[in-house]
Amino acid sequence: MSNTINGSDVRKVVIACDAGMGSSALLKTQLAQSLKPYGVTVEHTAVNAIPIDADVVVTQAGLAGRARKSAPDTPVVTFQMFLGDPAFTKLEAAIRDGADIDG
Amino acid sequence: MTAERLRLSAEAVRLGAAAADKADAIDQCGRLLLELGAVEEGYLPAMHEREHTIATYIGEGVAIPHGTNEARSLVRRTALAVVQFPDGVDWDGSDVRVAIGIAASGEEHIGVLSALATTLSVPEQAALLRTTTSVDAVIQLLTPAPENDPAEPRNEASR
């Protein structure tokens, strides 16, 4: 069920939300800025339209099931809070340090 | 050709509103989007449908109600509608003071949403957004920094 990728192999992070126009759009710029130094691009989509070249999917916990169904071979990182959730800093640290990302 | 970047206009900001409940607040955001010519009537039910799927509360007293992916065809143009509720609205147990209705057909609104995220990460600015009586102040708080505007033409030489 769970997928793993090493942070150093991540090139594209996709933020998925229900419609792809609200919460994922809200988070996109900040995550893109924090991951840019590591050569990682960030896109945002609707949860049912996750691109196959996504290395990691980021989504709110309530959508995790749909995200895993949509991208069954990709680690799905979940968060509870839009502002200041530790999941974002943990993801950045894993990419920076080349640690495994499970989800 | 560069994509048009969304900027909030004064007409898209309503301060000092009151709502009976969450559904009323979502309706007010939807009606403002309708008045702005951004959506078709059918977008409003889609906003409630989307909210029912998973709430759009994002923290710091702010919610971002919007339609479903399927309702994108009912969006005439990308727009945001900011409605402030100084007395608060019960949003599934969260106290919402500002609801920002979103109608998006493309990416033009990302800059304003990134400005929102930045504003909400600074407690004093978040408080100002919730309490200000100045439309200009709201527009200022939701104006993206140039580097956060994805549609801005890239100028690598200027760094």
List B57's β-bridge partners, or say none. Answer: B63
Residue A1 confidence (pLDDT) above 80:
no
- Walk along chain B (159 residues) and give the pLDDT tens digit of each residue: 345 689 899 999 999 999 999 999 999 999 999 999 999 999 999 999 999 888 899 999 999 999 998 899 999 999 999 999 999 999 999 999 999 999 998 888 999 999 999 999 999 999 999 999 999 999 999 998 876 655 544 444 433
Residue A48: domain span: 4-93
Query: In this structure, is residue B2 part of a structural domain?
Result: no
Identify which of A21, A29, A48 has the shortest CB distance to residue B117: A29
Contact B54 A62 (CB under 8 A): yes
CATH code, B133? 3.40.930.10
A 3-32 residues with CB < 8 A to B: 18-23, 25-30
Domain boundaries, position B80: 11-151
pLDDT tens track for A45-94: 999 999 999 999 999 999 999 999 999 999 999 999 888 899 999 999 99
CA nearest B70 in A: which residue? Answer: A19
Quick check: is A98 in a domain? no
Amino acid in the structure at residue A63: L
Query: How many A×B Cβ pairs under 8 Å?
Result: 74
Mutation to test the B interface, candidates A26, A28, A85, most B Cβ within 10 Å: A26
- Residue A42: burial class (beta carbons within 10 Å; 0-12, 13-18, 19+): buried
- Whether residue A55 lies inside any domain: the answer is yes
How long is chain A?
103
Give B148's contacts in chain A (Cβ within 8 Å): 29, 33
Q: Please tell me what DSSP assigns to residue A14.
A: E
- Give the pLDDT confidence of A24-42 residue by residue, as tens digits: 888 998 899 999 999 999 9
| Angstroms from A92 CA to nearest CA on chain B | 18
Residue A38 corresponds to which tokens in the numbers above?
């590591």
As for how many domains chain A has, the answer is 1
Q: Tell whether B25 is covered by a domain.
A: yes
| pLDDT for residue B148 | 61
- In a domain, residue A51? The reply is yes
DSSP string over B59-85:
ETTEE--B--GGGGGGBSS-EEEEEEE
- How many domains is chain B partitioned into structurally? 1
| Residue B137 domain-assigned (yes or no) | yes
- A17 labelled catalytic: yes
CATH number at residue A86: 3.40.50.2300
